[in-house]
Amino acid sequence: MSNRQKNIFTQTIFGTSVLIVLAFHGQFPSLVNTLTQQFSASTIKLSYATQPLAMTGGDPYIRALMRTITASESNVDKPYYVLYGGKYVDDLSTHPEQCMPIVTGPNVGQCSTAAGRYQFLNTTWYEKARQYHPKPSGLLWWKNYSFEPEYQDKVVYAWLNDSNAWGVNISQKLQQGKIDAVLKLLSRTWTSLGYGIETNSMSPHLSRIYQKMLTEELKRVG
């Protein structure tokens, strides 16, 4: 459990305990309602924070989308280094290729090689890195694709900007305010985005998270 998750858990336990005591004594119903609203708002605000990207520059709409994907896929202290299930790795010279056991969801009993900020499966990483990685090393067919944070970002950024890959111009859709349509489209790849098979506690809030990330990214470019 990350430090952020621990903080959220602690606040949840404390806030719930206070509300139960007040409700049990039947006193101050308006206070109970106020506390509930304030506590929920503060918890959501804390949960909505996702880390800045390692890469610099780029379309703020796509950058905000990338940070939104993180909120449901890898909202931890070190998202670029995390494996499926929460274990961290140190070496990002290439994709970690560690198959971690799946203990919940429709694929329980199998294992997943998902890794990094965008939880790339090893096969997906090599496929997309061949198309979009800006600095592969090696010769001819023997290529190595660094999995360092900047390159995770750059591969995803180029992929999301490729209209041929998705059948639509994603940046244009985002500028038109169609974030839900974009999340639905991407749910075939990132299944926790609210329309896939592995939704989680963050999935219902992704549209609001996107708006917060977009505000930050637009401020970055002035």
Tens digits of residue pLDDT in 112-125: 999 999 999 999 99
Higher pLDDT, 68 or 10: 68
Higher pLDDT, 204 or 18: 204
Check residue 197 and give its pLDDT. Answer: 84
Under 8 Å between Cβ of 74 and 119: yes
Check residue 105 and give its pLDDT. Answer: 82
Residue in this structure with the two tokens 């989308």, named with its chain if needed: 65
Mean pLDDT of the chain: 84
Domain boundaries, the chain: 3-47, 60-220
Supply the CATH classification number for the domain 60-220: 1.10.530.10
Query: What does the DSSP assignment read for the chain?
Result: --HHHHHHHHHHHHHHHHHHHHHHHT--HHHHHHHHHHHHHHHHHHHT--PPPSS--S-HHHHHHHHHHHHHH--SSSGGGBBTTS-B-S--SS-----EEP-SSTTTTSEE--BTTTTB-HHHHHHHHHHH-S--EEETTEEE----HHHHHHHHHHHHT-HHHHSS-HHHHHHTT-HHHHHHHHTTTSTTSSSSS---TTGGGHHHHHHHHHHHHHHHT-
Lowest mean pLDDT among 68-72, 113-117, 177-181, 192-196: 192-196
Distances (CA, A) of 135 to 7, 9, 102, 132: 39, 41, 32, 9
Residues with Cβ < 8 Å from 11, sequence gap 6 or more? 39, 42, 43, 46
d(CA 137, CA 11): 47
Higher pLDDT, 169 or 49: 169
Under 8 Å between Cβ of 61 and 175: yes
Check residue 26 and give its pLDDT. Answer: 53
- Considering the entire predicted model, what is its pTM? 0.79
pLDDT exceeds cutoff 70 at 32: no
Check residue 33 and give its pLDDT. Answer: 45
Check residue 106 and give its pLDDT. Answer: 85
Share above pLDDT 90 across residues of the chain, in percent, rounded to a whole number: 70
Q: Give the model confidence (pLDDT) of 79-131 as tens digits.
A: 999 999 999 999 999 999 999 999 988 889 999 999 999 999 999 999 999 99
Q: Which amino acid is at 178?
A: K
